[in-house]
Structure 1
Amino acid sequence: MILIELFFIVFYVQMCSTSHISEIDQESFPGYFQWITDTIVSNFLMCPDACKHKISTRRDFAGNNLVTCCVENALPYWMISKSKNLLGVLHLEPADEYGCVPDAEGADVMSYYKIIYQQGYLKEIPDCLCNNNNNKIVKINFHGNQIETIDNIECLHILDTLNLSSNYVSRLENTTFRMMKYLRVLVLSDNEIQYIEPNTFNYRPGSLMKIDLERNLLKRIDISNLYLDYWFDYIWLDLNRISKLTNELSTQFNLSKGGGTIGLHGNHLSEMPNFQELGMTVKTFLSTVFKYPLDLINNPIRCDCKLERFIKHMKFAAKHFTGIRNVLCKEPPLLREKRIIDINEDLLTCDITMKNGCPPKCNYYEQPSKFKVVINCSSTGKYKIPSVCPQQDDLDINLSHNFISVFEYRTFLNRTFSINLSYNRIASVDPFVYGIMKLRNINLQHNKIVQIHKNVLLMTNDHKISFGRISIKCSCKMKWIGSWLENQHRRHGVNNSINCHIRGRDIDAISISEICSAVKPKSTVKYVLLSFMISIFVSLLLCLKMKYELFLLLRNFKRQYLNRNSNNDSQQTKFDVYISFNADNDNIMKWIKTVVFNLEQNGFKCCFPPRDFDVGGVHVDQISTEIANSSSYLVILSDDYLKSQFQMIELNKIWAHYKINISRNIVVINYDMLDSWNIKDRRLKAFVRIKQTCDFCNFNNKLINELEMKLRTTNLQIKD
Structure 2
Amino acid sequence: MYSSYEVWSPNSVNRTDLRCPSDCSKDAENVHHCCVCKAVPEWHLSSKYILLSLEYTKRDGSAKVIGDKHSSVPAILKHRDGYLQGLPTNLCDFINIREIDFKRNKISTIGIISCLSKLDRLDLSYNKIYQIYNDTFTLLTHLRILILTHNGLTKLDPFSVAGTSLSIGHLDCSWNNLTEIDISNIIPENDFCEYKFNSNEITKFVNKGGFSLNKDKIYEGGLVELTGNLFSKFIDFEDLGIKDLKILGTLMSFGFVLSDAKFDCDCHMTPYLELAEPILKKIWRDYFNMSCWNPPEYQGLSIPGLVIQKKLDLFICNITKECPRYCRCYHQPHKRRTVVNCTDANLEKLPKYVPDASNLTLLFKNNKIKTLESRDYLANATFIDISGNGFDEVGDNVSLLIRNDIHFLMQEHNLKDLPRGFQLLNPCFAQIGRTEIKCDCKHLWIKDWLQNKNAAQCENKTLVICNTDGGQIPILSINRDDLCTTSVITFQIPSIILCVLAILIFVVSVISYYYRYEIYLLFRHIKSKSNKISVISKYDVYVSFDDDNPFLRYWVLQFLDLKLKQAGYRNFIPCRDTFPGDVKEENMINTITNSRNFLVILSKTYEYDDNIWTKLEWKNIWHHFYNNKDRRIVISNYDLINHPIDLKLKAFIRLGLDVDFANRRHILLDEVKLKLGLPYCAQQSYIRNAKPKFVPSKLSVVRQGEKYEENHKSKMSLVSSSMVLLEDRIYD
With normalisation by structure 1, the TM-score equals 0.59
Give the direction of change, closer, same or farther, for the CA distance of 1:381–1:347 in structure 2 (3 Å limit): same
Residue identity in the other structure for 2:16 = N
Task: Return the alpha-carbon distance in structure 2 between the equivalents of residues 481 and 305 of structure 1.
Answer: 43
Within a 5 Å distance, the mapping from 1:283-432 to structure 2 comes to 283=245, 286-287=248-249, 290-320=252-282, 321-343=284-306, 344-354=311-321, 357-430=322-395, 432=397
- Post-superposition Cα deviations, 1:479-513, rounded to whole Å, max 9, x if no partner, equal 6656755756556574445543212x432315641
* Unmatched segments (≥5 aa) in structure 2: 504-653, 655-732
Compared CA separation, residues 358 and 488, structure 1 to 2 (3 A) = farther
CA 1:256–1:340 in 2, change beyond 3 Å: closer, same or farther?
farther
What is the identity, as a one-letter code, of the residue corresponding to 2:417? Q
1:8-407 aligned at under 5 Å gives the runs 28-55=1-28, 58=29, 65-79=30-44, 81=45, 83=46, 85-87=47-49, 111-118=73-80, 120-124=81-85, 127=88, 130=91, 136-154=96-114, 156-203=116-163, 205-250=165-210, 254=214, 256-257=216-217, 258-260=219-221, 261-271=223-233, 278-283=240-245, 286-287=248-249, 290-320=252-282, 321-343=284-306, 344-354=311-321, 357-407=322-372
Cα offset for 1:186? 0.6
Distance 1:433 1:402 in 2: 19
SS of aligned partner of 1:322 = coil
1:269 to partner: Cα distance:
3.1
Q: Say if 2:420 is the partner of 1:447.
A: no
Residue 406 (structure 1) shift? 1.3
Q: Quick one: distance in 1 between partners of 2:7 and 2:495? A: 101
Q: Cα 1:366–1:468, aligned 2, differ >3 Å: closer, same or farther?
A: same
Distance 1:539 1:167 in 2: 95
Deviation at 1:213, TM superposition (A): 0.2
Q: CA deviation at 1:215?
A: 1.1
Identity over the aligned pairs, expressed in percent? 25
Distance 1:72 1:427 in 2: 75
**Does the Cα contact within 8 Å between 1:315 and 1:341 map onto a contact in 2?**
no
How big is each residue's C-alpha offset from its partner over 1:97-136, in whole Å with a ceiling of 9 and x where there is no partner?
A: 878789xxx9x99954545554x2333466398498x655
In 2, the alpha carbon distance for the partners of 1:439 and 1:534 equals 31
Amino acid paired to 1:169:
I
What SS does structure 1 have at the residue aligned with 2:275?
helix
Aligned length: 492
The one-letter amino acid of 1:127's match is: P
**What whole-Å deviation, never above 9, does each CA across 1:233-292 have from its counterpart, x for those lacking one?**
222112211223334444555374444332222323333567676444344883577335
Distance 2:320 2:123 in 1: 51
Q: CA RMSD in A?
A: 4.3
Residue aligned with 2:99, SS: strand
User: Secondary structure of the equivalent of 1:291?
Assistant: strand
Change in 2 beyond 3 A, CA 1:115/1:459:
same
Q: Secondary structure at the match of 1:374?
A: strand
Q: C-alpha deviations, 1:577-596, integer Å up to 9, x for none?
A: xxxxxxxxxxxxxxxxxxxx
| Unmatched 5+ stretches in structure 1 | 1-27, 59-64, 546-644, 646-720
User: Matched residues in 2 for 1:66 and 1:217: separation?
Assistant: 36
Alpha-carbon shift at residue 188 of structure 1 (Å)? 1.0
Q: CA deviation at 1:374?
A: 0.8
Residues 137 and 446 from structure 1, CA distance in 2 versus in 1: closer, same or farther, beyond 3 angstroms?
Answer: same
Q: Secondary structure at the match of 1:140?
A: strand
- In structure 2, the residue corresponding to 1:231 is in which secondary structure? coil
Separation in 2 of the partners of 1:369 and 1:160? 49
Kindly state the Cα deviation for residue 185 of structure 1 after the two structures are TM-superposed: 0.5
- Report the 3-state secondary structure (helix = DSSP H, G, I; strand = E; otherwise coil) of the residue aligned with 1:364: strand
In the other structure, the counterpart of 1:628 is none
Confirm or deny that 1:502 pairs with 2:464.
no
Query: Do the aligned partners of residues 197 and 460 (structure 1) sit closer, same or farther apart at CA in structure 2, a change above 3 Å counting?
Result: closer
Aligned match of 1:437: 403
Cα distance change, pair 519–284 in 1 and its aligned pair in 2 (3 A) = closer
SS of match in other structure, 1:325: helix
Distance 1:303 1:180 in 2: 42
Question: Does the 8 Å CA contact 1:167/1:191 hold for their aligned counterparts?
Answer: yes
Q: What is the CA distance between 1:383 and its match in structure 2?
A: 1.3
Query: Contact 2:134–2:159 at 8 Å: present in 1 too?
Result: yes
Aligned partner of residue 301 in structure 2, secondary structure = coil
Instruction: Check the 8 A contact 1:42/1:207 in 2, yes or no.
Output: no
| Contact preservation (8 Å) 1:124, 1:150 | no
The amino acid that maps onto 1:445 is: Q
Change (3 A) 1:293 1:177: same
Offset at residue 401 of structure 1 (A): 1.4
Structure-1 separation of matches of 2:207 and 2:246: 15
- 2-side partners of 1:274 and 1:541: how far apart? 58
Provide closer, same or farther for how the CA distance between residues 94 and 518 of structure 1 changes in structure 2, counting only shifts above 3 A.
closer
Q: Counterpart of 1:629?
A: none
Partners in 1 of 2:151 and 2:234 — Cα distance? 28
Letter of the aligned partner of 2:304 in structure 1? I
1:24 alignment partner in structure 2: none
Task: Give, in whole Å, the separation in 1 of the partners of 2:317 and 2:484.
Answer: 63
Instruction: Return the offset for 1:153.
Output: 4.2
Change (3 A) 1:241 1:255: farther
Distance 2:411 2:195 in 1: 60
TM-score (norm 2): 0.58
- Post-superposition CA distance 1:72-104 (Å, at most 9, x none): 23222244x3x4x425656668898878789xx
Q: Distance in 1 between matches of 2:361 and 2:467?
A: 34
Q: CA-to-partner distance for each residue in 1:497-536, whole Å, 9 max, x for gaps?
A: 5543212x4323156416x7579978xxx79xx89x9899
* Aligned-partner Cα distance in 2 for 1:289–1:513: 66
Q: Deviations over 1:339-367 (max 9, x none)?
A: 3333322122222223xx33333211111
Could you say what secondary structure the match of 1:138 adopts?
A: strand
Correspondences of 1:557-706 after superposition (within 5 Å):
none
Structure 1 residue 404 displacement after superposition: 0.8
Give the whole-Å Cα distance in 1 for the aligned partners of 2:56 and 2:264.
Answer: 52
Structure 2 contact 172–196 (Cα < 8 Å) conserved: yes
Contact 2:337 2:360 in 1 (8 A): yes
